[in-house]
Amino acid sequence: MAEQFQSAVESSVDKTNLILKDIEQAYGWPKERRNQSYAALRTVLHLLRDRMPVQESVEFSAQLPMLVRGIYFDGWQPQDVPIKLDRDDFLYEVRQGFPYDVEGGPLRVVQVVLDTLRRHITQGEWDDVKDNMPGDLAQVMP
């Protein structure tokens, strides 16, 4: 039993590192900028989570690696969701949660993180996530 747990944790860490590495590669960042890739992932995940209805948020999270799922749910207040955010509000909140200056600004951060997440989520679930976003925000989603 302990070996299964260790294997599951190691697998989750590997998958999480792969997601962070994908973000870094999209920007051309070295691994030493892992704090930035983590901040980008966390910020966008939290905004997606808070924009979706509770049931859809839970369904989406089921496809995330265990460690990323923990990041996703950290600080969640399900009684307060979904919050209404259009594209401009979403980008504003990304800028507040991601304090680094990067090429392309908040829009690029969102696109990089969403492109990365899309590769780790089934098409059906991704379509459900997009369907829960306002049209102007869904347009920036892959």
Residue ranges covered by each domain of the chain: 33-139
- Residue with the two structure tokens 């979706």: 52
Mutual angle of helices 34-51 and 2-27, in 10-degree steps: 100
Residue 47, C-beta contacts closer than 8 angstroms, at least 6 positions apart:
85, 90, 93, 94, 97
What pTM did the predictor assign?
Answer: 0.93
Given a contact cutoff of 8 angstroms between Cβ atoms, the answer to whether 115 and 123 are in contact is no
What's the token pair of residue 99? 């304090």
Fold designation for 33-139: Globin-like (1.10.490)
Model confidence over 106-133: pLDDT tens digits? Answer: 999 999 999 999 999 999 999 999 999 9
DSSP classification of residue 133: S
How many angstroms from the chain centroid is the CA of residue 113?
Answer: 6
